[in-house]
């Protein structure tokens, strides 16, 4: 790369977290999701090294790791560094030709809160390493490579939503993602609307196995349903009436998993239509249904998330509320009118502390832009 003078370093690259407004556990079924990138981000400062090593430091855990580019192997350490090594390993495997770099990571995306701190880290690291090699990459391709790092190196069989949101966010817009074609429709969010994200403080770990198990349930269902419906490749291709017709072929749990995914796809499309028509009440009702479906059919909510959702819906100026992201802890998302935000925060915080003994954190987020080089203002 090095047409740049050394004094231009470090160069910083940042990638946003995301909050999903509706459409969870649909992405790996080829379906639809409606996230927004948010104004919480991970930043990676990169400066070149003359050798073939990548040295990474994170302030958050006060830790450093160091690895030799030529000796990268898909062996996990089971911590944050897996996301960095995973991205380096994938980039090497597609022939990027990595060069030595020092990376320093900062982040204000809460970890394990369902706001996609992992994808933000992957994408920011990928941008830093690509720049070090003097390369640019199409955003969809970048998202796919980061997803591959998480699937094959970290071992979470996540879908494409988080990486695509980090690579494609736009200020003031939600993104209707078609997770099969990777097409994106940008839908403007009304100016008076606030994205209130409530952190249950229950940490989730997608690597814990339940997430991958849900995905496996969906794939097992596809294997069974495609015997009688040969055009079915993913649950995206199954209608609710087909599911009812062949309900007897599935065990009751698998049936409920499918009912969530298929109905959630439709809810996400309906929610996008509601947003286009400025129908926030309709949008909020779909969010509330989505939570019920995730809780009862997909079984990825938990008592704390259910309490946060209940408390949110009791407040004035709230259109809808649901858990967001993978679940098993993490955050809820509520759509709140700007003028109701202060009461919302106070009442939900107090109510949650009373009912659980835990102090929640509430972030009022803005829909933010995509991953980019962060150029400091002079
Ligand atoms: C996690 C995964 C995503 C998606 C959500 C659930 O965030 O990384 O790919 O599956 O869970 O919608």
Would you say the CB of residue 162 lies under 6 angstroms from ligand 1? yes
SS3 content of the chain, % helix, strand, coil (to 5): 45, 20, 35
In terms of Cβ atoms closer than 10 Å to its own Cβ (0-12, 13-18, 19+), residue 51 is: exposed
- List helix spans (H) across 185-315: 210-228, 240-245, 252-276, 280-296, 303-313
Backbone φ/ψ region at 81: left (φ over 0), alpha (ψ -120 to 50), beta? alpha
Give phi and psi for 173, each to the nearest 5: -120, 145
Residue in 298, 325, 328, 333 to alter for ligand 1 test, most ligand atoms within 8 A of Cβ: 325
Q: What pairs with residue 337 in β-bridges?
A: 193
pLDDT (tens place) for every residue of the chain, 378 residues total:
444 455 588 999 999 999 999 999 999 999 999 999 999 999 999 999 999 999 999 987 788 999 999 998 889 999 999 999 999 999 999 999 999 999 999 999 999 899 999 999 999 999 999 999 999 999 999 999 999 999 999 999 999 999 999 999 999 999 999 999 999 999 999 999 999 999 999 987 655 689 999 999 999 999 999 999 999 999 999 999 999 999 999 999 999 999 999 999 999 999 999 999 999 999 999 999 999 999 999 999 999 999 999 999 999 999 999 999 999 999 999 999 999 999 999 999 999 999 999 999 999 999 999 999 988 776
- The Cα–Cα gap between 72 and 136 comes to 22
Full strand arrangement of the beta sheet holding 32-33: 32-33, 173-178, 184-188
Give the containing element (helix H, strand E) for 57. Answer: strand 53-58
- Residue identifier of the C-alpha nearest atom 9 of ligand 1: 159
Mapped onto helix, strand or coil, the DSSP state of residue 104 is strand
Mapped onto helix, strand or coil, the DSSP state of residue 340 is helix
Which of the 8 DSSP states describes residue 154? I
The tokens for 265 are: 């796809």
Instruction: Looking at the CA of residue 158, tell me the nearest atom of ligand 1.
Output: 9
Cα-based distances in Å from 91 to 64, 65, 135: 21, 18, 11
Instruction: Looking at the CA of residue 25, tell me the nearest atom of ligand 1.
Output: 12
* Helix/strand/coil (H/E/C) assignment for every residue in 119-138: HHHHHHHHHHHHHHCCCCCC
pTM (predicted TM-score): 0.96
CB 130 within 8 A of CB 96: yes
Residues classed as catalytic: 162
Write down all domains in the chain, each with its CATH number in brackets.
Answer: 11-188 (3.30.230.10), 193-365 (3.30.70.890)
């Amino acid at each position: 790369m090095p047409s740049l003078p050394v004094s231009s370093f470090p160069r910083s690259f940042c990638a946003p977290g995301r909050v999903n407004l509706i459409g969870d556990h649909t992405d790996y079924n080829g379906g639809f999701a409606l996230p927004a990138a948010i104004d919480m981000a991970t930043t990676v400062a990169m400066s070149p090294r003359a050798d073939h090593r990548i040295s990474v430091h994170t302030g958050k855990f006060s830790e450093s790791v160091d690895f030799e580019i030529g000796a990268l192997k898909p062996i996990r350490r089971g911590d944050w560094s897996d996301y960095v090594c995973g991205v380096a390993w994938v980039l090497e495997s597609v022939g990027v030709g990595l060069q030595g770099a020092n990376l320093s990571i900062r982040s204000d995306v809460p970890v394990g809160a369902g706001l996609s701190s992992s994808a933000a880290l992957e994408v920011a690291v990928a941008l830093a390493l690509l720049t070090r090699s003097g390369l640019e990459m199409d955003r969809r391709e970048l998202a796919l490579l980061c997803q591959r790092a998480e699937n094959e190196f970290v071992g979470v069989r996540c879908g494409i939503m988080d990486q695509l949101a980090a690579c494609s966010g736009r200020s003031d817009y939600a993104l209707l993602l078609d997770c099969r074609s990777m097409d994106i429709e940008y839908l403007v969010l009304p100016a008076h609307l606030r994205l209130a994200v409530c952190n249950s403080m229950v940490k989730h770990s997608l690597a814990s196995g339940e997430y991958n198990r849900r995905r496996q349930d969906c794939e097992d269902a596809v294997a069974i349903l495609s015997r009688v419906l040969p055009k079915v490749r993913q649950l995206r291709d199954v209608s609710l009436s087909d599911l009812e017709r062949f309900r007897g072929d599935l065990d009751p749990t698998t049936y409920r998993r499918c009912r969530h995914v298929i109905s959630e796809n439709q809810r996400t499309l309906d929610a996008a239509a509601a947003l286009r028509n400025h129908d926030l009440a309709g949008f909020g009702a779909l969010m509330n249904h989505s939570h019920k479906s995730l809780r009862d059919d997909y079984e990825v909510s938990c008592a704390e998330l259910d309490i946060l959702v209940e408390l949110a819906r009791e407040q004035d100026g709230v259109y809808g509320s649901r858990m967001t992201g993978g679940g098993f802890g993490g955050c809820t998302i509520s759509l709140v009118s700007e003028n109701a935000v202060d009461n919302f925060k106070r009442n939900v915080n107090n109510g949650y502390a009373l009912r659980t003994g835990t102090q929640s954190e509430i972030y009022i987020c803005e829909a933010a832009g995509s991953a980019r080089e962060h150029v400091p203002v002079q």
